Every structure is written in structure tokens, then in C-alpha cells.
Chains A and B, each alone.
Chain A
Amino acid sequence: MGGGADGVAYFGNLETVSKKAVSFLKKQGYVKSMINWGDKFSLWPVHLMTSCCGTEFAAASGPRFDLERLGFLPFGGPRQTNLIVIEGTTTLKMARSVRIVWEQMPAPKWVIAMGACAMDGGIFYDSYNTVPAKDIVPIDIFLAGCPPRPEALARAVVMLQESIVKNRPPAADIQVTAAPATPGPKDVVEAVSK
């Protein structure tokens, strides 16, 4: 038996009751903050190396900077992860994989755009084979540098944790729209949405 806020009482259907109860509880501050606390220390980035910033990502997971102390544990399968660190340039080919991986991840999920390339093209901004990461997936944290030092990556993770604790929702999904027509290559939308 359970009671809803709208004054309706439910009898018998345990499933509906429990679902209602869960959604009710989730809205309560104390439960929500507990969930956030859990999310905060289990930011598992998927192992998706997109470019050369990956070396600093590897160094950051290494012993000197040890991001595992922040609950940051690179993991293989996208289904078990909730964070993508886009490590630099995304090419047309890689953009598809990034989008697919992002779609495979369960919500809530966050994205850190690491490096100047992921922010807006960086040193390769005028290449005919690159796509800015912000046109592929919604981005929560932009992290500048080329490559950013591992400390900077740690800072980005801490900032993401803060925003989780403050109960900010992950960035909303973007419409993968047509990029400005480029001579030669097909538009990004076709490359990405495939």
C-alpha cells in the first residue's frame, strides 16, 4: 500500500508503488545528495583515446598524479562508465565512435573536453578531417591546454565533482546539426549521425 502526493492510494500493485516511491524519494534532498555523493566518487571514464592528449591522460592515471584517488578509474566497456574524457582532436572517423560510445553509456553521463583541440580545434582547427568535439556530444567541462597537464585534468575532475554535488544536471544533449558547408568532405551531420 502506498500513498501519492496527489492523494491517490494504491493497493496491490507493488511494482507501481515501488516505482512511485523511488521517484518520490529521489526528489528528496537527502537521498539525492546521497546519490550525488555516490556519483561523485565513481566517475569512471571510458577508455576511448581520441588523440595525443591521451598520453597525459595515461600519465594522470599513473602513480604520480593518481586520479584513482578521486574515484577516476578508466574502464573498458561504455556500458559500465559514466564519463567520457575526449582526449583531443576528433577526426571525422573518430567522431562517429565518440557519438556511438556516448549513446551507449547509461545516464547520468558527463563529458570532459580535454585539450585545445576538443574545445575548438586547437592547432588543427583548419584541417579538413577534424570536427570540434562540441558538435558531437554535449560537454560539461572544457579543459584548456595543449596538452593539459595531469594536474589540470585532476582539477577538471574536481570541478565536475563539485558540480555534481551542487546538483547541476549533466549538459543537455545537443542536436547534431549540419556544420557549415566545407569544401570536399561531407557535412559533419552525416559523418556523426551514421
Chain B
Amino acid sequence: MTAASRVITGITFTTDEAKGIFEVEASDGAHLLDLATRLKAAGFDHCLSVTAEDLGDRLAVLWHISSYTNRELSGMNAQIRLVVSKSDNVEVPTLTGIWESANFLERETYEMFGVVFKGHPDMRRLLLPDDFTGKWPMRKDFPLKKTPWRVQK
């Protein structure tokens, strides 16, 4: 990976332009909120996606942000990444206070990865039935119903 970087209002993004990656890493919850506030002030006014990655013993929570009004920033799909250790209910701060559009996206991430967003106004299931018992379907240890018979890893 290239080690190019780009600085926007004092925040250094690791970039890989050919792949459309602009990433900034948050060290902990407080740093995350600080970063998000500054990025919002810099013109990132839209939250495109919230998701997580299962890294084995850790989870990386990702917020993808973009801009609707700022022509310079609107070409970027920037991402904020916060790595936390994996447990049944991982707790991270919510960014709905900063980007309201993260509301449903964070609910989905909670349902799929078991990431509890502290301070979210409405932390409930979204897509799966209420009595769905399986824990955190998008984590790597959650199996599919049947194993694909043609496609094996």
C-alpha cells in the first residue's frame, strides 16, 4: 500500500487515491468524537455508511463520510476507523449527534456486529426478526445455513 497522505484542517488522512481510500484512525472514543467534530466543521456533512470489520480478536468500526456541499471534499469517501477489542457487546460512542444520517446505519451495525453505540437515541434491531436468536450474524464465527457446495474457500 502506498503511504501517501493528505491533510485536511490539521487531520492527516492516509490515502490510496487509486482505490478511493482516505482513512484516519481514531485511537479511542474521545479522540473519535473530537475527530468527528472537526471533520464535520471542515465540511464533511454526510455519513455514507457505518460498518465494522471482524479482525479476529478485535473489531474495527468504520464510519464513511462524504460531503454534499463542499465541492472539494465531495470527491472523497473518507473513513474514520476505530479499533476496539472484541467482546459480546462492544461499546463505542455514537456519532449520531454529529451526523444524524448515521442513525439507521448504526442500528444496522449493532444488529450485525453487536457494536453498541453509546448515546444512540434508539438502539434496537432493524432488519432481523425480533425473536432472532443468533448472535451477530456478520461476525466471522457466525455460520451460514448450509455451506456452499460449489464454492469453497
Contact = CB atoms under 8 A, between A and B. Distances in A.
A146 interface: no
A190 B131 contact: yes
B128 interface: yes
Nearest to B142: A184
Interface stretch (A2-10, A72-80, A106-114, A121-129): A121-129
A185 B134 contact: yes
A104 B144 CA distance: 33
Interface string B120-146: 000000001101111101000011111
Contacts, number: 45
A186 interface: yes
Nearest to B137: A128
A191 interface: yes
A92 interface: yes
- Interface size bracket, A side: 10 to 19
B132 A186 contact: yes
A182 interface: yes
A186 B38 CA distance: 44
A119 to B, nearest CB: 16
B97 to A, nearest CB: 30
Interface of B: 128-129, 131-135, 137, 142-148
